[in-house]
Amino acid sequence: MSMPHAETLTLLERLVACPTVSAESNLELIALAEAHLAAAGFATRRLPSADGRKAGLAAHLGGTRGGILLSAHSDVVPVAGQDWTRPPFALTRAEGRLYGRGTTDMKGFLAAALSLAGRAGRSTPKLPLMLLISYDEEVGCTGIRDMGPGIRALGWQPDLCIVGEPTGMAPAIGHKGKAAFTALCRSTPGHSSVAPRHVNSLHLATDLIAALRRMQDDYATGPHQDAGYDIAFSTVHVGTLSGGTALNIVPDRAQLSFEFRHLPADAPADFLTRLQAEVQDILDRCRDRDPAAGIELAVTNTYPGLQIAADHPAVAEVAGLAGNAPPIKVSYGTEAGYLSQYGFPTVVCGPGDMNGQGHKADEYLTLQQLAACDRMMDRILARLNA
C-alpha cells in the first residue's frame, strides 16, 4: 500500500491540533497555512469575517488566469456530546487510520493541498496554482458567501476548481441546494378547561407540519426526479418543535425549524409560495376563534446547489487526476455551489467517506485515501508543469 507524503502527514497533525469548531476562531489555522504558503512563494491575502474573529485565506503561485484552484473549509463540527475514545484534536494513527476531528471533513484534503503547495513552490510550475480556505462552512456555507466580494475582487480565472469534500476520490458533479426556515406560531393563551374556545399554538405548528408532509409526498411522486442521488427528489425535513409552558395552559407560542433540500428544477421560491398558501389556509380555519392567531415564516439560511454537466471538460479532467472513478452526486451540501456562481468550473473531489466517517465520534481518514489524494496532487503538479 502506498503511503501519503511525509509532509502531508505532518501538516495534517498540525491542522487537527487547531480546534477550529465553527463557534470558535480559526485564526490559528489561517496563520499556519499563511506562513506555509508564503514560505513556498505564494502571494496570500486574508479575507476576514465581519467581526474579525475568523478569516478566509486566498493564495496563488504564478498568475491568476488558467491553472487549478483547490478549495477547502477550515472549520469542523463540535465534539461535545460525542463519545470519543481518542483525543479529538490530536492526530492518532492506528490500524491504517488517522483519527481526529476534521481528518475526513476536510483537513485531510487541506493537508494534501498545502503539501502540494510546498512542492509547487520548489518547482515553479508553468500554470497557476490557487488555494482558497474558508470558514463557517459547517453552519450553512455562510463564510464562503460572505467572502464572495473578496473572492471576486481577486480576479481569478482558473480552468478548474476542486472542492475537496470527502467523496472517496470520485468526482462529484452535483448536490442539492438548501433553504432553512423557522415558523413562529402565536395565539391567545387560555385555561385548558376551555381549550376548544382557543387556538392552540402547538396545533398551528402541527397543522403546518402536516402541510409540510403533504408537500414532501408531492415532491416524492412529482415529475422532478434525479436517480443520481441517494434520494432522487427534493426533500422537506422538520428538525425541531417547541412550545407550551404548562399542561393546564393553552399555549400561545410554538416554534419549529425545517429545511428544503432541492433539486435544481425545484426552486425555493416556488416552495415558499406554496408554503405561504398553506399557512393562509391554516389561519383561515381558526380566525373565528382567535383573530390574533398567526404564523410568521422566516428564512434563516440558504445555499445553492451544484450542477455541472457530466460531459463538461472539467469533469473528465478531475476524473483523470483523481484516478478515473465515474462521476457521482452527493446528498450533503458544499461550498461548490457558491464557487460555481463565482464563475469557476467546479467539481467536488476529496478523500474519505462523509456518511461513514465524517461528523462522528472517532472520525478518521484511512491512510489509503490520503495517499490517493496525494497522488491526485502529484498529477496536478505534473499538469501545471507540462
Chain segment 59-70, per-residue pLDDT in tens? 999 999 999 999
- pLDDT value at 1 more than 80: no
Q: How far is CA 200 from CA 8, 25, 207, 208, in A?
A: 58, 42, 11, 13
CA atoms within 13 Å, Cβ hemisphere of 148: 14
Cβ neighbours of residue 373 closer than 8 Å, sequence gap 6 or more: 4, 108, 109, 112, 164, 169, 350, 351
Written as nine digits, the cell of 251 is: 399555549
Written as nine digits, the cell of 218 is: 408531492
Answer yes or no: are the C-beta atoms of 106 and 6 closer than 8 Å.
Answer: no
What is the mean pLDDT of the segment spanning 236-263?
Answer: 98
Task: Check residue 124 and give its pLDDT.
Answer: 86
Chain segment 99-115, per-residue pLDDT in tens? 999 999 999 999 999 99
What is the mean pLDDT of the segment spanning 355-378?
Answer: 96
CATH number given to 177-303: 3.30.70.360
- pLDDT value at 278 more than 90: yes
Q: What share of the chain is helix, strand, coil (3-state, %, to 5)?
A: 35, 25, 40
AA identity, residue 362:
D
pTM (two decimals): 0.94
- Give me the residue spans of the domains in the chain: 6-175+306-385, 177-303
Chain segment 297-323, per-residue pLDDT in tens? 999 999 999 999 999 999 999 999 999
What is the dihedral sign for C-alpha 224, 271, 183, 174? positive
- pLDDT value at 331 more than 90: no
Q: Name the E strands within 77-209.
A: 92-94, 97-99, 129-134, 160-163, 172-175, 177-186, 190-191
Superfamily of domain 6-175+306-385: Zn peptidases (3.40.630.10)
What is the mean pLDDT of the segment spanning 82-105?
Answer: 97
Chain segment 146-164, per-residue pLDDT in tens? 999 999 999 999 999 999 9
Round to whole Å and give the CA distance between 115 and 117.
5
Task: Check residue 61 and give its pLDDT.
Answer: 98
Task: Check residue 246 and give its pLDDT.
Answer: 97
Q: Name the E strands within 74-213.
A: 92-94, 97-99, 129-134, 160-163, 172-175, 177-186, 190-191
Round to whole Å and give the CA distance between 9 and 15.
10
Residues in the chain: 386
Round to whole Å and give the CA distance between 348 and 339.
11
